Amino acid sequence: MSIARLSLHAAADALAALRADEAAIGMIDTVGSDLAAAIAGGGKLMICGNGGSSCDANHFAEELTGRFRDNRPPLPALACTDVGHITCTANDYGYDHIFSRWVDALGNAGDRLIVLSTSGNSRTITNAVLAAKARKMRTVALLGKDGGKCKGLADLEIIVPGHTTDRIQELHMLILHIWCEMLEPARR
């Protein structure tokens, strides 16, 4: 079997496993409603992740501040992807604090922090969740594998099926797009 066919089958299997997980589907709906409530209440969404998850965080934020499917006013979303902030903080305070310092600077009660991690084991992610909780923010974790050290730390979490980073990130992006679809009517 070709690599392309194997890869498509693996992606389909991961999606089928997610589609069969009623608890995960319910949590996707719950989080989407919670994010909409935050925006309706004047809060903003803050999103962070490392590596490819950072790119996914940025993509999610731009779908909300820009345009997803329909013309509508922009939605308040920030991704911690600013290279100046990341390198300054890493240099001065250590890499583990790149997201928590950002949350401390910009997060408020009523805002939501969404963290993306395929392993759940990054200290940058766990520190961000702890910082958000200290600021009375609700937290959402999109995780993979067994959830890692972040499992159970966030207020709301979804652990997607998959054992490789690529399959996990594909499902995370699908969920982020579902949330975009749920949030699209929030500002019409």
What's the pLDDT score for residue 185? 80
* Tokens standing for residue 91: 């240099």
Report yes or no: 135 and 103 within 8 Å, Cβ to Cβ. yes
Percent of the chain, pLDDT > 90? 95
Average confidence score pLDDT of the chain = 96
DSSP one-letter code for 96: G
What's the pLDDT score for residue 103? 98
CA atoms of 38 and 24, how far apart (whole Å) = 21
What's the pLDDT score for residue 14? 96
Q: What is the mean pLDDT of residues 3-7?
A: 96
CA atoms of 31 and 111, how far apart (whole Å) = 13
* φ and ψ of 17, to 5 deg: -65, -40
Report the amino acid identity of residue 139.
Answer: T
Tens of pLDDT, residues 144-181: 999 999 999 999 999 999 889 999 999 999 999 999 99
Half-sphere exposure (Cβ direction) of 147: Cα atoms closer than 13 Å: 11
CATH number of the structural domain 3-187: 3.40.50.10490
Tens of pLDDT, residues 54-76: 999 999 999 999 999 989 999 99
DSSP one-letter code for 185: G
Tens of pLDDT, residues 85-108: 999 999 999 999 999 999 999 999
At residue 133, does pLDDT exceed 80? Answer: yes
The domain segmentation of the chain, as residue ranges, is 3-187
Q: What is the mean pLDDT of residues 13-22?
A: 97
At residue 187, does pLDDT exceed 70? Answer: no
What's the pLDDT score for residue 109? 97
| Residue in this structure with the two tokens 């962070």, named with its chain if needed | 48
In this prediction, residue 1 has a pLDDT band, given cuts at 50, 70 and 90, of: confident
